[in-house]
Amino acid sequence: MSAGRVYLVFYNGLQFLGWSYLLLQILTHFKNGGEYGDLYAAVETTLKIFQTGALLEIIHAATGLVRSNVTVTLQQVSSRVYIVWFILHTLPASRSSIGVLLLLFAWTITEMIRYSMYGIQLVTTTPYFLTWLRYTFFIIAYPVGVSGELLCNFAGYLEAKESGIYSVSLPNPVNFTFSFSLLTVLVGLVYIPCFPPMYIHMFTQRRKVLGGSQKKE
């Protein structure tokens, strides 16, 4: 087994364990009587570590270590990192949004399926049920996850607009203006043209993978 393959097995295995632990944290939180409004506090560190770790996947795709589409990978990873660090980390109001529960549900299950599948296929044949889950669960997960991201983004926008955090207004010595709240609006609008192609791309992949398997069977 090559060094690159060993690294990928380790990376995918570690990410699977991390997201599995995050799911355990979520279940424990609700089992102990927690509510969705304070869920973020229970998973904050784990979420930041393993979602930020996904930035490596952009490098994996760009260097040819994996065959993933660089543009799609960049889009998927950057949107999540933006929500984690620019919204949830920076704007406390977003943490109490129902969007946190929605995105955590979608992200966590999706990543557990995805990383376990990637890790297994590096060493042996992937079980069909796992492949089926990978190319079926997204039908629910993508709309739910995107809805959660947009709800958190909107809650963050309201706080950013009220507080003026990270914004620069005129007049100032460098004659420069910047509105962080406007940035959140622009990012939200980007979802409109970006989500449909990504969703359709996954359906195309589903037909290629599961359609081919069914024909063979």
What average pLDDT does this structure show over 55-68? 95
Range of the domain at 7: 3-216
Active site residue 35: no
Please state, in angstroms and rounded to a whole number, the distance separating the CA atoms of residues 83 and 195: 15
pLDDT in tens, 95-117: 999 999 999 999 999 999 999 99
The H helix count followed by the E strand count for the chain is: 9, 0
Q: How far is CA 97 from CA 33, 44, 61, 119, 173, in A?
A: 18, 14, 33, 33, 38
Please state the domain count of the chain: 1
What average pLDDT does this structure show over 194-210? 92
The contacts of residue 27 (CB under 8 Å, 6+ apart) are none
Strands (E), the chain: none
Q: Which one of the listed residues 142, 166, 191, 199 is annotated catalytic?
A: 142
Q: Is 123 helix (H, G, I), strand (E, B) or coil?
A: coil
Cβ neighbours, 10 Å, residue 208: 11
Q: Considering the entire predicted model, what is its pTM?
A: 0.92
Active site residue 142: yes
Higher pLDDT, 58 or 68: 58
Q: Which one of the listed residues 111, 149, 157, 159 is annotated catalytic?
A: 149
User: What secondary structure letter does DSSP report for 205?
Assistant: H
pLDDT in tens, 76-88: 899 999 999 999 9
What six digits make up the tokens of 66? Answer: 């994996």
Instruction: Tell me the chain's radius of gyration from C-alpha atoms.
Output: 19
Question: Which residue's entry shows tokens 């980390």?
Answer: 89
What average pLDDT does this structure show over 192-215? 84
